[in-house]
Structure 1
Amino acid sequence: MLKVNVGNKPQADQPENGRAFEIEWRKEGWFIDGNAFEGDIVALGENRFHVIRNNRSYNIEVIDRNPAGKTTHLLINGQHYHTTTRDDLDLLLEKMGMQNASSQKINNVKAPMPGLIQSINVAEGDSIAKGDNLLVLVAMKMENVIKSSGSGVIKSLKVTPGQIVEKNQVLLEFH
């Protein structure tokens, strides 16, 4: 089971608005908050889908996905939505009061795929919070914003804009 929080991107002076729901896969199909999903999903291309549910049509595009941070940025009918997901392990740790036990200290950030460093948004000595944009990696003609999966201080940058990197190459290090 996954617990998903979905909300519009908050403005600087407004709290995030959104709602939480549970998605579960069973042999009978997908269930949302315990109810069977009744709708139609058609893939329109890579990261683009059309969904019909409850006589409503939704055009959905996956803008950015961060599996390590369990976040996804979606564009649904022109509106931006940001999701955070908690799986069974996250929910168990939270129930036991150990939700911070799953977050590890970050030592470095590695390239998730081979590509070209387009830009770097941080400098050595910068304090970084979880979710901050670190750099942009272009791969297969797509810009991928690499975000911090934790907090820390940048110790050293190991790449420069215009540099080609390999998968798992260290991009920057934290103190």
Structure 2
Amino acid sequence: MKNFKFRIHDNNYNVKIVSQEGNEIDLEVNGTSYTVKMKEEIKKTKTPTLVRSASKRPAEPLKVNPSSSKTKIVAPIPGTVLSIDVKVGDTLKVGDRMLVLEAMKMENNIVCEKAGTITALNISVGQQVLQDEVMIELQ
């Protein structure tokens, strides 16, 4: 396990700890084996673990109001806009990719969840967006 060198009254001692169970330690001093019993048990150190509590509110999916004439596409998470696949005036159907948002070194495709025509683009390539920031408006 561990090796130690001691110098006591001009005498050198090489101590090797062979094993340790509870409060008994087997060791060798200059090649001679000894078993030593400690007064108190040696406490084992534990590595602390971080315990996180579960989120109090569940993740909410992007909600689109089907009766509304205008739909706002918001950023689901903070990130950087890598590419924009649409422009003002484009007509989209459900499932069409609108943009790619990079967050935590992952590329996330933002797709259309309601068919419509793009009326406004509030973002540009390379722009950083915050969560719930309006990126695209549909009608």
TM (norm. structure 2) is 0.52
Bigger fraction of residues in strand: 1
Q: For each residue in 1:94-152, what CA deviation from the matched residue of structure 2 results, as whole angstroms up to 9, or x when unmatched?
A: xxxxxxxx845451100000000000000000001011100000000000000011101
Matched, 1:119 2:83: yes
Give unmatched runs, 5+ long, in structure 2. Answer: 1-60
Bigger fraction of residues in helix: 1
Instruction: State the match for 2:20 in structure 1.
Output: none
Instruction: State the match for 1:134 in structure 2.
Output: 98
Instruction: State the match for 1:109 in structure 2.
Output: 73
* C-alpha displacement of 1:68: 3.9
What CA distance in whole angstroms lies between the structure 2 residues aligned with 1:144 and 1:110?
13
Equivalent residue in structure 2 for 1:163, among 120, 127, 130: 127
Distance 1:166 1:68, change over 3 A: closer
Structure possessing the higher radius of gyration over alpha carbons: 2
How many residue pairs get aligned? The number is 78
Give unmatched runs, 5+ long, in structure 1. Answer: 1-66, 70-101
Instruction: State the match for 1:148 in structure 2.
Output: 112
Task: State the secondary structure of the residue aligned to 2:117.
Answer: strand
What CA distance in whole angstroms lies between the structure 1 residues aligned with 2:71 and 2:111?
14
Q: For each residue in 1:55-94, what CA deviation from the matched residue of structure 2 results, as whole angstroms up to 9, or x when unmatched?
A: xxxxxxxxxxxx448xxxxxxxxxxxxxxxxxxxxxxxxx
- Do the aligned partners of 2:77 and 2:131 also contact (CA within 8 Å) in 1? yes
User: Stretches of 4+ moved more than 2 A in 1?
Assistant: 102-106
What CA distance in whole angstroms lies between the structure 2 residues aligned with 1:104 and 1:115?
29
RMSD over aligned Cα, in angstroms? Answer: 2.0
- One-letter identity of the residue aligned with 2:91: S
What CA distance in whole angstroms lies between the structure 2 residues aligned with 1:146 and 1:156?
16
- One-letter identity of the residue aligned with 1:113: I
